[in-house]
Structure 1
Amino acid sequence: MSSLIKTKVFGIFCLLQCLALYAIAQQANAIKPYKVGDKVTSLASDSIVSPKESTIDLETYRGKAIILDFWATWCKPCIGAFPKLQAMQQKYQDQLKIILLSTDKKEKLNHFYSVRPEFDLPTIFYRGRDSINKLFPHAYLPHYVWLDTAHRVFAITNADELTEENIKHFLQGKKIDMYQKDDSLALLDLRGMVVDSIVNTDGLINSISIDSVIAYGSQISRYDWRVTGGRSINKHGYENRYLEFRNNSIPELYRFAHNGYRMDKADKELFLIDSDRDGLLPPASNDKKAYKEFEKNHTYSYRVILPPHKADSALRYAYMQRDLEEFFGLRAVYEERELDCMVLRCAESAVLATKGGKPHFAVQYLDYFTLQNQPVEKLILGLRTFYVNYIGRGLRQSYYPIINESGIIGNMDLDLQHVTSEEKLIQALKQHGLSLTVEKRVVKVLVLK
């Protein structure tokens, strides 16, 4: 075969390959997200992480209702709902199948199952760019898709709708007035920003970009549903002079401005609201319509970019404090108040002194708690990271501050494994001579007034 013919054959082969790839791309782009009323025929995945199941085929569950739970090992509300899901699966096993889906690494998922032998709901592992992510698009976790007995989409909800009453009516085929969660990418309208645009990261986070012409300034903007709530503490090219908090209530913005967003301050700084001004506190979380209305009318975003010669991590927060007080007319001041606190004590018989070695600190919520050659301050930080006694009283006081009366001097070792609940963690601490009790103490409080 001559070189000319070989060249032509190779060219034809390349053309066919390009056409094949183009066809695949077109097919992927043609995938339409499921909506309420659509029939789901396949989950388009055969990669299962579960101690009991190797494959999942929807046809196997013909005649059964299904709940798809999209979750991640870092999602605390997701894991917090698992005992409820497990109980519902056992109670309604003849009528209902609960299937979990996650983009976490298989190693993390396998470890999650290995330390929880009582938990056997199957998880489908899939990648963020798989077709399953296009069929069930979502920006926030947890994310639940309810399929009726004909496997048609009955509802798409968050965790609030996962109640015993709703499950019961769902299985009975009754109509339920549930809040329909819809944070799919199809909703995004990228128009309307004058100097900025909205950046989407793999369908998970939508943030406001920084137009390159903006060199310095600060701004407060109203709620934007297109933008994912959260924060950006720094940005490449704007080191120590950039700060952004997105879609937060007024008290949350003040709290961040004065306390920062560092976990090592969470046990030291307490925030209270001493004002009757409307729009400061959200309504009850179970009143979804009222909460959405509050979010629309009373949440804001803040951003500051300092000039290069003023690049300073703390100065960003000073600018934020100034801007918030000027715009909202509220002050945040430190006062001493008597409040309920969690007091940490240590029994004389406790053996916690370190054996030395390289300092190590690791805490995984509802999993493990490890200190090696660390001071007691790290223990308190770990307790707060673990969400110990997060009492959920909202912004007026979301947790009890932890007061250290342990008397521990010097570094310590502590290794707690398989602590899959706050109660188990407290019990494990008792076995090591440590106790946490709720008592009144006078503490320094940041008061919004």
Structure 2
Amino acid sequence: MKTTNFKVVGDNYGLFFKIQDVSSKYLDLIRLKSVTLFIGIISYLKKLWTGYLDRQRYRKEVQRRLLKQRALKRERASTPLSLTGEHWTDRLLKIGRKEQGTRSKEVWIADGLLTNRSPRRPNPVANALLLAMTRCDGFGWNLRQWASTPLSLTMVVLLMCCAAKLKAQDTIKPLKVGDQIPELVLAHSINSNTSSINLKDYRGKLLILDFWATWCSPCVKMLPQLDSLQEQFKDQVQFITVAYQSRAVVDKFNAQMLKMGRGNKGLGLTDDVILSAYFPHSYLPTEVWISPTGKVIAITDEKALSAENLQKALVNEFTAKVERIVFIPYDSEKPLFNANNGGNGHDISYYKVFGQYVKNLPSKAITWSKPDGSVQISAINTSLSRLYQQAYSYNKIEMISRNRLLLLVKDSSQFLPPAPRGPVFLEWAITHRYNYELRTPAGFKEKAFEEMQRDLAVLFPQYQVGIEKMERPCWVLQRISSLDKLATKGGPEVRDFNPLHFEIQNQPLRQLVGMLDIKFLSLQPFPVLDETHYEGKVDLLLDANMSKVAAINEALKAYDLTLEKGIRSIDMLVIRDQTNYKPNTNQKP
């Protein structure tokens, strides 16, 4: 007796086929490793069958009739049967045969029948079945035999279930507080004994999904706290960190962290798409609280993660909830607010838009120099101070740093929120954040910024704004020796950074100064200046806490560089109350 084994692996399940002598017994055993798949077969059949007919009705009907005709007439195909189309290949059916009168020895199954309904989302089970069938040499099967065997019917049922699963993944419905989380098996696990995580395994525990990223400073700061809480609650609570970034990026970051005695030591996932679809979020970190019974009980920020709240959640007394924030699509290539950011936006060469805060619209401020030479300035849900900084940043990118802004106004609440986030912040943002967008034709880049300055002067006449020279304390980057330890060795241009790492290769030194000034040290009151007078390109690698000057200086020693505090005359963006200003009660804002 000839026996062939095939193992077919899907997303959440596996199938095992043991095929014996086909002339006497076509299928000896089908073992389903997932009870969920088996139970779901009946419910999936009707849904998939309807959807499948909608997508492939014409081609499938043509193929079925041709196959049936050939099978009934025992017709031998002189050429492969082929239907062309977007999701079909010339391997739809190939019947290998020898000379006239011999039996067919190979059966090839259609890619279009058994596999992808979309080239972007392959069906791994169907692909494996296709591979298995194409290797059934020596069984003496011909087309009629395959079409009439129980194995063919079993394969169709299984493939329909697989396709139904894929359809479900395409139409994920976001979950809210009170919803039951589905049973999911998620790949790309880290710090785990297996390559995937089955959420069902954590029923009976309070489950916390921590959405994070390596570039997110609050997220990185939370990692030791997660480890501490995991140790404290042990088997009662399970934390799972969820990163959209790749395994390579997360592993590299963890390796850097572990050198400093820190790192993501707990259970986690990388390359996430599924959980982010179930729990859309605008801010990181975001914490999803799931009860021991699998119900979503809260979606919060990281501040809610405390031993006290975890204990309350374990006894069903935790009631803190925040509204899930879902991104509203925004395409920077099209005018803001115009026909849902669509329509004929590409035909507009000049426009200006101004409006109040829009809830759930992601905040951003960016200037685009487009290939056609036109310029677009976008400030979405931004503060008034940020609008001024962007307007005065032409050829002075340092003006967007917070430490270059000086408020000399009686009422700073027009510029500064009472809290960095939460309900109080949202209440303030409704009346103190704005949307502005300007596009100008080619050749008007400088004038675009001047136009924005004039617009703000008209919209907010109560303020006097300008750039002034002032003596201010600064962090000054200096060389401490004449030895050149910076010169690049060449190679590709590289810029890579996160809160604990900064690397540039074959780049100018101003890349470091700029990132220190507008990102890493932007919350400090001192701007960062470059007084190295180094003109060439450099290679630089700093493994340090990039928000701490002492840690940065320790890493800079290897390059004979240092940050020293000093007083310098620098440009500052100064906002003052306008003298003799008389408010117009009918004016907005």
- Structure 2 CA distance for aligned equivalents of residues 3 and 333 of structure 1: 74
- Structure 2 CA distance for aligned equivalents of residues 182 and 411 of structure 1: 48
Q: State the one-letter code of the partner of 1:121.
A: G
Cα distance, 1:411 vs. partner? 3.7
- Structure 2 CA distance for aligned equivalents of residues 436 and 419 of structure 1: 14
Deviations 1:43-86 (A, max 9, x none): 34133134765332234333322211222334344334323333
TM-score, normalised on structure 1?
A: 0.77
- Structure 1 CA distance for aligned equivalents of residues 64 and 209 of structure 2: 56
Q: Does 1:161 align with 2:161?
A: no
Cα distance, 1:435 vs. partner? 2.9
CA contact (8 A) 1:285 1:291 kept: yes
The equivalent position to 2:459 in structure 1, one of 327, 337, 359, is: 327
Q: State the one-letter code of the partner of 1:6.
A: L
- What residue in structure 2 maps to residue 184 of structure 1? 326
CA contact (8 A) 2:478 2:562 kept: yes
CA contact (8 A) 2:209 2:289 kept: yes
Q: Which moved more, 1:336-345 or 1:14-23?
A: 14-23
The equivalent position to 1:283 in structure 2, one of 410, 413, 418, is: 418
Q: Does 1:6 align with 2:138?
A: no
Q: Secondary structure at the match of 1:112?
A: helix
- What residue in structure 1 maps to residue 318 of structure 2? 175
- Please list every run of 5 or more consecutive structure 2 residues that lacks an aligned counterpart in the other structure: 1-61, 70-80, 84-91, 93-109, 118-158, 330-334, 577-589
Cα distance, 1:446 vs. partner? 0.8
Cα distance, 1:155 vs. partner? 1.0
- What residue in structure 2 maps to residue 425 of structure 1? 552
Q: Which moved more, 1:272-281 or 1:16-25?
A: 16-25
Larger radius of gyration: 2
Cα distance, 1:437 vs. partner? 4.2
Cα distance, 1:332 vs. partner? 1.6
- Structure 2 CA distance for aligned equivalents of residues 297 and 217 of structure 1: 24
- Structure 1 CA distance for aligned equivalents of residues 378 and 63 of structure 2: 61
Q: Does 1:248 align with 2:387?
A: no
- Structure 2 CA distance for aligned equivalents of residues 359 and 240 of structure 1: 30
Deviations 1:256-298 (A, max 9, x none): 1112598666679811221124522211226x22210111111
- Please list every run of 5 or more consecutive structure 1 residues that lacks an aligned counterpart in the other structure: 200-207, 392-397
- What residue in structure 2 maps to residue 383 of structure 1? 516
The equivalent position to 1:125 in structure 2, one of 270, 292, 295, is: 270
Name the Cα RMSD after superposition.
4.0
The equivalent position to 1:362 in structure 2, one of 480, 492, 495, is: 495
Change (3 A) 1:366 1:326: same
- What residue in structure 1 maps to residue 443 of structure 2? 311
Deviations 1:391-448 (A, max 9, x none): 3xxxxxx64201345x554547553354355444332124544333445544321101
- What residue in structure 2 maps to residue 445 of structure 1? 572
- What residue in structure 1 maps to residue 205 of structure 2? 64
Change (3 A) 1:327 1:27: same
- Structure 2 CA distance for aligned equivalents of residues 230 and 134 of structure 1: 22
Percent identity of the aligned residues?
Answer: 25
Cα distance, 1:145 vs. partner? 0.6
Highest relative contact order (Cα 8 Å, sep 6+), 1 or 2? 1
- Structure 2 CA distance for aligned equivalents of residues 232 and 376 of structure 1: 23
- What residue in structure 2 maps to residue 37 of structure 1? 178
- Structure 1 CA distance for aligned equivalents of residues 336 and 539 of structure 2: 54
- Structure 2 CA distance for aligned equivalents of residues 272 and 355 of structure 1: 38
Q: Does 1:97 align with 2:238?
A: yes
- What residue in structure 2 maps to residue 401 of structure 1? 527
- What residue in structure 2 maps to residue 112 of structure 1? 253
- What residue in structure 1 maps to residue 36 of structure 2? none
- What residue in structure 2 maps to residue 27 of structure 1? 168
Q: Secondary structure at the match of 1:335?
A: strand
Change (3 A) 1:293 1:429: same
Deviations 1:323-375 (A, max 9, x none): 11111112321223444422334334866252654585524123433355665
